[in-house]
Amino acid sequence: MRDLDGHDLAVGKKSDYFRVILWFRLRENYPHKYTGFFGRCSGQQKLATTVRESTVGHLTAVMLENLFIDVAFISASSWNLRGLSTPNENKAIVKQAVARVSEKCILLSDSSKYGKMANFRVMPLTELDLIISDEGLSDSVEQLTSQKIAVELAPPV
């Protein structure tokens, strides 16, 4: 996704795209607008494994290493104070690649995913610039912010 100032925004999966749109609309002081969607990696889908409409795997990660992304919105099926994790190692390497090539990295996850852990570590929370979640995370915000992790809670839809 590219905003009007030319910043590239990467969104983890299509369902998160709508959450990102809502987040932008709710932020009165956010000066940028969104104009597109960066989802599947063109041409890589035939070469990589597809899991629930996500392009994942080593070749996707290699391709992503050649991009410059200003802001990446990353989703997670499980995360806790130790960091983001996933049950799929092919998703882990793609998320790690996106984080490496992004100027800013934002976790976009609902509160039901917090406190869970899967087999493959993606990254520590300290590598994120911001966590956006729902109000169900409100009991844990103080614990996260005390570790210098920025958190924003989106109002219910």
Q: Which residue has the higher pLDDT, 30 or 83?
A: 83
Name the residue type at position 123.
M
Which of 127, 132, 83, 134 shows the shortest CA–CA distance to 105? 127
Tell me the CB-side half-sphere exposure of residue 120, using CA atoms within 13 A.
Answer: 14
Residues 6+ apart with CB under 8 A from 124: 82, 83
H-assigned helices in 12-122: 14-26, 58-64, 89-101
* Rounded distance between C-alpha atoms, residue 37 and residue 134, angstroms: 22
Q: What's the pTM value of the predicted model, to 2 decimals?
A: 0.70
What confidence tens digit (pLDDT) does each residue in 81-96 have? Answer: 999 999 999 999 999 9
What confidence tens digit (pLDDT) does each residue in 97-149 have? Answer: 989 998 899 999 889 999 999 999 999 999 999 999 989 999 999 999 998 99
Which of 156, 53, 148 shows the shortest CA–CA distance to 111? 156
For the chain, give the percent of residues with pLDDT over 90: 38
Specify the residue for token string 């990660």: 61
In order of 42, 76, 120, the CA distances from 83 in angstroms are 29, 10, 10
CA 14 to chain centre: 11
Which pLDDT value is given to residue 126?
94
